[in-house]
Structure 1
Amino acid sequence: MAGAGGKRGGAGRGDVASGGAVLVYAAGLIQGLALVCFPAASSILTSPTGYDLSASQYGLMFAPQVVLAIGSAALTPLWAGRWTLQRVLLAGLTANLVAMLLLVVSQFPAPSGAAYLLLLGATGALGFGFGSCVSALNTFAAALVPGREDRSVLTLNVLLGLGTALAPVLIAVLLPNWWLLPLGVSVALVAAIGATLRIRLSPGAVPGPAGARTRTRMPGRFWWYGAAVVLYGICETLFGNWSSLYLSGQRGLSVSVASAALAAFWACVTIGRVVVAVLPARIPPTAVYLVLPVLIVGASVAVSAATGPAAAVLAYAAAGLACSAMLPLSVSFAGREFPRLGATSSGELIAGYQVGYGVAAFGVAPLMAATGLAMSGIYLAGAAVAVALAVVALVVVRGAALRPATPPVHPAHHLDIPASDSTERS
């Protein structure tokens, strides 16, 4: 996350501190809403009276999203150095707008092959928008208040999480006119794009050598962190992408209950992150890191066994708390252990998380077809993945404990933006 090491005075800094803060935080909320529009509408997408997608088609629908999210996140530092980070944010917001409009339009030819092609285009645009926007927004958030980067970034991620929690609730409330949600998000994105064109944002100047963009060889131990985020991505996506299909399809619960369970999951992900951030200093984050995979195991079993509305909502809420801080802590620990990797560390881990997302998003249906497992059995398989995650977490924590403490890295090293890329180019 870029620091505030650039120019302090002038209109640029004033904009970032006032209107810029509103823009950054509002864009985070909007991105959260857009991100979960597709999973929240899964019952409509797979319903015979809706899009009539099979489980395989539903899972494959997320393939373009995963590929473009990984690509755009990895290329954001390069684009920021060439075109400024504000233009990257603008491109991401525009891609999100395209995704929401394609989702709205796709209802007219549904169910048909044309509708599915529109959905594939929509998820691809959403992936590009997510990868670009999240990288840029975290950087701008860190530059809002020098010296309070952690709080600013936490606020942004809480609002992004709030958006992911609101989306399934709004879909349930708006039924049968569910398309009003992506339409409303489109209007909000148009406003955000307009504000981005008017308000001058600065990520701050990032000091560093001219060769900072040279790819760094990753230490062998770093790939334990990579394994952790891939396994975590699988677990989180089983809860976040397949909940509605599981509860409405196998358990026969109503769409409103399925939406409530999904909303509970994302809400508790956000709540859990806040709780972990404010834990007393006497509770080491490494202990939390070791406990969370065990909780994911228990939550997976609870979800697999849930048959009634109350049990389903509570099980998914527990899953949200269990998943909450695993990814942020992985990125944080890796950054402390390998401070010289800078943006490469976080970029590789976010890409790894997206790989896990992709495995669970479009691997579940083929697994069910090959093994005959029901979704409840898939969640038990997810518990086994969480057991593997617990083992990897133990290796990560024990290895890090044996290494000497490293000096913390200033958030300015999150993106490899050259010092010359300051507010003059915005």
Structure 2
Amino acid sequence: MNRFLKILHLYLDGFFLGFCLIVLPAASFILKSAEAGALSDRQYGLSYLPMNISAVAVCLLFQKAHRKWGSRTLLVVSFLALGGYLACMLAAGRGHLNRDVFLWILSANLCLGVGFGYLLSVLNYETAVIDPAIQDSLLLGLHASLGMGAALSPLAVHFFYAQGDWSRTLLALLGVWLPLLALSFIFRPCSPRGDAQKERTCPSRSSGQDVLTAVSGVSSCSPEKSGTPLPAKAWFFLGTILIYGIAESITGNWSTIYLTRVKLFSPATASGCLSIFWVMLTLGRVLSSFLTLKFDPRWIYRLSPVFMTCAFFYLLGLQDESAAVPAYALIGGACSYFFPLSIGLAVTYFHEFKESLSGLGVAALMVGVSLGSSLTGFLQDIRWMTVTGTMQLAGIAAAVLILCAFGISLAKIPVKGAASCSI
């Protein structure tokens, strides 16, 4: 396969995955309405639990699965799972025909977790090995395409909702899914399966480039010593990522409900806010990847939760609907680089644990996402928390991150970066 066409194929897959990920949050205010499913807060929150569990499991098993089956097989499995997700969501979207909306959404998110975990892992791997010399740029483009898909998803849901049937979004996605599934069957990996086991000789990099390598999610080619426990400070990084996951998941999963139910803003405004959040999340990550090459990444890292906290509490006191979109732009920009830099700095400080930290970092994020989506939904349903209280929790989590970010980044970044490379 021509290199340009292969990159285009991978980017289209990333765009499609990003689009799929945000369909449910974008349609949450519809599915919670009496005529479309009447999901309770507990049901809506719990619906994310199968996705979080399956995504964590798949990410942790990816290396073993990739060695056994290779990229093409996992790509096919990913798209079959995403097809199951779209079919189940379509059944939920036509909930007036059966009343089993909650069960369909649970099934959909189970499929989404499997598809997300395998597809994103394969995309990261295949993009990185196309050309190791420019892997950072290629991976940056991949995650930008995923972010743009996430940004357009709420707009598409609102467009079809205004036309009278939001589930047409899913029909359109199924129309795109079919050719992408067909392409996955003829996909030619850059290298045969099993190459993940081989070590490579890698060029030395500066600490700034090392942070970027970790941001891309590419693992080290230097093996870890088996059985060696992670240092205590590395666990503090993982705890910080977990707290961040709570704040991000509340923003991504509860914002539409908060803006339409509590603030009484229009669905169009809520969709626009969610879109701008994902746009700024993408653009902020692109900008920060260049800033870390020019400035000490620790200071960029410390500023992120400060901006997050200010944005969340500004949003809580907001009454002007026209100011909601700028508020979400600030939240998205502030959130954009905190998780990548958490992984990047942890890997820079504890380079010999690079592969473990990359996997555990994703797992910690997904646990935080689960707490921010599933647990908060349950607490709302038993009336221990309100939707407003959920958004306040995001602001509190961001404030705690200020202390965490300063505390765990006090040590100087090692001057000499260790060797690193693509998988």
Give the TM-score taking structure 2 as reference length. Answer: 0.88
Alignment map for 1:156-305 (pairs within 5 Å)? 156-175=142-161, 176-202=164-190, 205-206=195-196, 207-208=198-199, 217-279=229-291, 281-305=293-317
Tell me, yes or no, if the aligned pair for 2:42 and 2:379 is still in contact at 8 Å. Answer: no
* 2:133 paired with 1:121: no
* 2:357 paired with 1:345: yes
Distance 1:331 1:356, change over 3 A: same
* 2:3 paired with 1:17: yes
* 2:105 paired with 1:95: no
- Aligned equivalent of 1:375, options 384, 387, 392: 387
Tell me, yes or no, if the aligned pair for 1:336 and 1:409 is still in contact at 8 Å. Answer: no
Name the counterpart of 2:23.
Answer: 37
TM superposition shift of 1:113: 5.0
Residue-by-residue CA offset, 1:207-243 (whole Å, 9 max, x unaligned): 3399879565322221111012111111111111001
Query: Quick one: percent identity of the two aligned structures?
Result: 26
Name the counterpart of 2:337.
Answer: 325
Select between 111-120 and 95-104 the one with higher mean Cα deviation.
Answer: 111-120
Residue-by-residue CA offset, 1:273-332 (whole Å, 9 max, x unaligned): 111122274422211100001111111102212233212212111110110001111122
Equivalents in 2 of 1:41, 1:161: separation in Å?
A: 18
Unpaired runs of 5+ residues, structure 1, are 1-14, 414-426
Tell me, yes or no, if the aligned pair for 1:172 and 1:256 is still in contact at 8 Å. Answer: yes
- 1:250 alignment partner AA: V
Name the counterpart of 1:8.
Answer: none
Number of residue pairs aligned between Structure 1 and Structure 2: 397
TM superposition shift of 1:189: 2.1
Equivalents in 1 of 2:401, 2:2: separation in Å?
A: 39
Tell me, yes or no, if the aligned pair for 1:92 and 1:129 is still in contact at 8 Å. Answer: yes
Determine helix, strand or coil for the equivalent of 2:274: helix
Q: CA RMSD in A?
A: 2.2
Name the counterpart of 2:327.
Answer: 315
- Aligned equivalent of 2:43, options 57, 74, 86: 57
Select between 268-277 and 181-190 the one with higher mean Cα deviation.
Answer: 181-190
Name the counterpart of 2:57.
Answer: 71
Tell me, yes or no, if the aligned pair for 1:303 and 1:376 is still in contact at 8 Å. Answer: no
Equivalents in 1 of 2:179, 2:87: separation in Å?
A: 15
Equivalents in 2 of 1:196, 1:73: separation in Å?
A: 20
* 2:398 paired with 1:412: no
TM superposition shift of 1:406: 5.0
Moved over 4 A (4+): 209-216, 369-373
Distance 1:203 1:38, change over 3 A: farther
Select between 178-187 and 368-377 the one with higher mean Cα deviation.
Answer: 368-377
- Aligned equivalent of 1:151, options 112, 116, 137: 137
Name the counterpart of 2:12.
Answer: 26
Equivalents in 2 of 1:195, 1:129: separation in Å?
A: 16
TM superposition shift of 1:48: 1.2
* 2:376 paired with 1:364: yes
- 1:88 alignment partner AA: L
Determine helix, strand or coil for the equivalent of 2:155: helix
Tell me, yes or no, if the aligned pair for 1:216 and 1:344 is still in contact at 8 Å. Answer: no
Select between 349-358 and 366-375 the one with higher mean Cα deviation.
Answer: 366-375
TM superposition shift of 1:366: 3.3
- 1:376 alignment partner AA: T
Tell me, yes or no, if the aligned pair for 2:52 and 2:369 is still in contact at 8 Å. Answer: yes
Residue-by-residue CA offset, 1:316-361 (whole Å, 9 max, x unaligned): 1111011000111112222222223243221110010000000011
